[in-house]
Amino acid sequence: MDSDENPILPIRSTSSTLYQNLKSFFSLNSSDASLNEIGWKKASTVILAVLFICGVMALAFSAIIWVVYDELDGGNRNQTTTTTTPSPTPYLKRIVGVYTNNESKDSTNVQLEKLTHALFAFIRMDENGTLYFKNEKSKHRFLSLRNKAMNETADVKLMVSIGGPNNAQFFSGVLKDESRQRKFISSTISFLKQYKVHGVDIFWKWPSESEKYVFSAFIKNLRDNLNPYLLSITVPPAGIEHQTFGFDIDDLVQHVDFLNVYSMDYYGPWMNEWGTPTGPIAPLYSGVKGREEFNLDYTMQYYSSQTRQLDNFNIIIPTFVRLWEQVKDAVEPGRDVYRNVILKDNMTEGDAYMSRRLAEMEGWKLTPLTWDEQSKSSFIYYPDEGTYLTFETERSLKAKMDYLKEKHFGGVWIWTVDMDDENNTVLNFIRDFGYSTDEI
């Protein structure tokens, strides 16, 4: 694709001092729409504080504020029911469904009608910032998804994710070099235009602490050039090494439409430096010794401490089944969900991302399962064979959805829709639960 036909706006220098200057400059300037909104939010916070002190005047004032706030916040919403009986709304703002570029199952219209956003993962970026498809299969799967997403019955926004675990090695070099960063931005815009995609997700796994300013500056450059396209980023779990150190969350949150939190893969059949127990893919709470912070709650508490815009965050929902072989006794007495494994050549054996369809084809039964109350997750252990399976169930999904509702996070991202079973069991549960207007 020819990206030079898209002249891009001047981009910010990625040096940290200039970035800081720009940061302080922009925080005083209110010409930018999104910054305007921050200004407005700051103002409304002050107003609310005053209201709190005034107490008696609170009701009258808040009614007025809501009308004004709604007008600024919604922009294109029609004002019908502002103060009286608001129509019941789903508590999930977003259901983002990820599609891989290599599963064998194709996307379906039925799935897309249940999503707010479909996210194709991943588009690759080369050392010069140019985007490309991994291979023909990837392109074919993308086009098939794109064609279905364009169906009017779907009302879904199609996005592509750039990078990912296996193609993030060039972010550092590309973002630090102004001309390559320009190339990357114009290549992205060309891609979105050419394929009629609604937006892009940036999945850099993960910038280091010294790349924090480069990343923030890049996200602002991209945002400036990307309107009216959507922009999201994928952010790491907290509590593992220094993975969150490259993200200036409170700054980034002002420039993206939402953030996908990769709060999973705390335990898996692979070599790693944190020991080798088995455990849930995405435990809501708890952990084992040395891994007490390896859970969703710890990660989301971290993000809550960084910003107040919690409804911009999506919690990950894994659909796949994770399998280990050579699994032995519990790591700690009474915590049967965390078990030791025997290593072979320093590796644990198993299948880290097995689609539900494949699990079924290979004869794995997903019942009867054992529930672990502390981590709110389910697992199956066959002592004779030494195999261990873990995956989301209605009960673990309900626990996550209740958590999301209680803490006011805005949405979920499903990893991945094409690894769900033929009946879209996980997707359907999320959709029915998230769009239910009943008290649960």
Ligand X SMILES: *[C@@H]1O[C@H](CO)[C@@H](O)[C@H](O)[C@H]1NC(C)=O
Q: CB of 108: closest distance to ligand X in angstroms?
A: 8
370 scored as a contact of ligand X (CB under 6 A): no
174: which DSSP letter? H
Which one of the spans 23-31, 63-71, 214-222, 421-429 is the region binding ligand X (CB under 6 A)? 421-429
Which one of the spans 245-253, 289-297, 299-307, 415-423 is the region binding ligand X (CB under 6 A)? 415-423
Q: How far apart are CA 114 and CA 156, in angstroms?
A: 8
Q: How far apart are CA 114 and CA 39, in angstroms?
A: 35
Binds ligand X (CB under 6 A): choice among 2, 10, 56, 76 = 76
Q: Any alpha helices (H) in 177-285, and if so which ranges?
A: 178-195, 212-226, 249-252
Binds ligand X (CB under 6 A): choice among 59, 346, 367, 439 = 346
> With the C-alpha atoms ordered 153, 156, 157, 160, is the resulting torsion angle positive or negative?
negative
Q: CB of 323: closest distance to ligand X in angstroms?
A: 12
3: which DSSP letter? G
| Helix (H) or strand (E) segment spanning residue 138 | helix 136-149
Q: How far apart are CA 273 and CA 292, in angstroms?
A: 15
Binds ligand X (CB under 6 A): choice among 20, 29, 102, 272 = 102
Bond from prior residue into 228 cis (ω within 30 degrees of 0): yes
Q: How far apart are CA 298 and CA 263, in angstroms?
A: 10
Q: CB of 260: closest distance to ligand X in angstroms?
A: 18
362 scored as a contact of ligand X (CB under 6 A): no
Q: SS3 of 200, please?
A: strand
Contact present, 307 and 334 (Cβ < 8 Å):
no
Q: CB of 79: closest distance to ligand X in angstroms?
A: 9
Which one of the spans 125-133, 190-198, 274-282, 298-306 is the region binding ligand X (CB under 6 A)? 125-133
Q: CB of 328: closest distance to ligand X in angstroms?
A: 19
Which one of the spans 56-64, 103-111, 369-377, 402-410 is the region binding ligand X (CB under 6 A)? 103-111
Q: Vertex 45, ends 43 and 51: CA angle to 5°?
A: 105
Q: CB of 149: closest distance to ligand X in angstroms?
A: 10
Binds ligand X (CB under 6 A): choice among 30, 151, 169, 179 = 151
Pick the closer one to ligand X by CB: 37 or 126: 126
Place of tokens 């409804």: 311
Q: CB of 434: closest distance to ligand X in angstroms?
A: 20
Q: CB of 209: closest distance to ligand X in angstroms?
A: 26
79 scored as a contact of ligand X (CB under 6 A): no
Pick the closer one to ligand X by CB: 173 or 290: 173
Which one of the spans 199-207, 219-227, 345-353, 396-404 is the region binding ligand X (CB under 6 A)? 345-353
Contact present, 119 and 198 (Cβ < 8 Å):
no
In angstroms, the Cα distances linking 163 to 6, 99, 170 are 22, 14, 9
423 scored as a contact of ligand X (CB under 6 A): yes
Binds ligand X (CB under 6 A): choice among 4, 178, 292, 422 = 422
Question: Other CB atoms closer than 10 Å to residue 251's CB: what's the count?
Answer: 20
120 scored as a contact of ligand X (CB under 6 A): no
Q: How far apart are CA 91 and CA 310, in angstroms?
A: 13
Q: How far apart are CA 4 and CA 117, in angstroms?
A: 29
Binds ligand X (CB under 6 A): choice among 345, 384, 406, 439 = 345
292 scored as a contact of ligand X (CB under 6 A): no
At position 110, the amino acid (one-letter code) is V
103 scored as a contact of ligand X (CB under 6 A): yes
199 — phi, psi (to 5°)? 180, 180
Burial of 44 (C-beta count, 10 Å sphere; 0-12/13-18/19+): middle
Q: At what angle do helices 136-149 and 178-195 cross, to 10 degrees?
A: 50
78 scored as a contact of ligand X (CB under 6 A): yes
360 scored as a contact of ligand X (CB under 6 A): yes
179 scored as a contact of ligand X (CB under 6 A): no
Which one of the spans 31-39, 242-250, 292-300, 416-424 is the region binding ligand X (CB under 6 A)? 416-424
- Tell me how many residues contact ligand X (CB under 6 A): 20
Applying CB under 6 A, the residues found at the interface with ligand X are 76, 78, 102-104, 109, 126-128, 148, 151, 153, 345-346, 353, 360, 421-423, 425
